[in-house]
Amino acid sequence: MKILFYILLGSFLLSWNAAQAQLKPNHYTYQAAQVQFWYPSEWEVSEAERVVTAQTIDGALSMTFSIMQADQIEEALMELESIIQTRVTLPQITAEPELVELKGMQGVMTEVEGTMEGKEVQLGVFIIDSPQNVLLVLGVGQKEALKKYNQDLNKVIQSIEPI
């Protein structure tokens, strides 16, 4: 009888979770960081090796969500400097780092300009102390793409929340 009860309970929970997922269309749950976010229906989202990438279909703008090898935001800032130095040519911070709060999670954001793969880009950098660890959200795009997708980009950032 207990086995039947557990089977029924498990079936109910699976059905309930599926129903909850349908109630929030265009939401992605990033289990490694214990956060979820909304994304526009015209964007593509993929996850590989615990890194989530959300990008426009034309590839002009992308956002990468990844777990940093740091226990605190201060350590993450040092790791971020190393990441930017290896991926961006002539990086320049264009906005002073600013403390932010996203749905109860503390973080730091800043902006960086530089060149990636021969193209001038702007980066929006968010380091968030998520429920499990430190989350890096890195938005990358050329100026034209940032203007075009500015509203969507802001909505994605504002939608990040713990699960």
Whether 80 is in a domain gets the answer yes
pLDDT of 25 reads: 83
CA 160 and chain centroid, separation = 7
CATH number where 121 lies:
3.40.1000.10
Whether 137 is in a domain gets the answer yes
Q: In whole angstroms, how far apart are CA 2 and each of 7, 10, 13, 69?
A: 9, 12, 16, 43
* Percentage above 90 pLDDT, the chain: 30
Query: What is the domain count for the chain?
Result: 1
Q: In whole angstroms, how far apart are CA 89 and each of 19, 85, 116?
A: 46, 7, 6
Whether 95 is in a domain gets the answer yes
What mean pLDDT is reported for the chain? Answer: 81
* pLDDT category of residue 72 using cuts at 50, 70 and 90: low
Tokens for 99?
Answer: 């403390």
Domain that holds residue 127: 26-162
Closest CA to 66 of 141, 148, 137: 137
Compute the C-alpha angle 97/102/103, nearest 5°. Answer: 160
Judged against a pLDDT cut of 80, whether residue 24 lies above it is answered with no
Whether 63 is in a domain gets the answer yes
Average pLDDT, integer, range 62-70:
86
For the whole model, what pTM was predicted?
Answer: 0.77
87 backbone dihedrals φ, ψ, rounded to 5°:
-110, -25
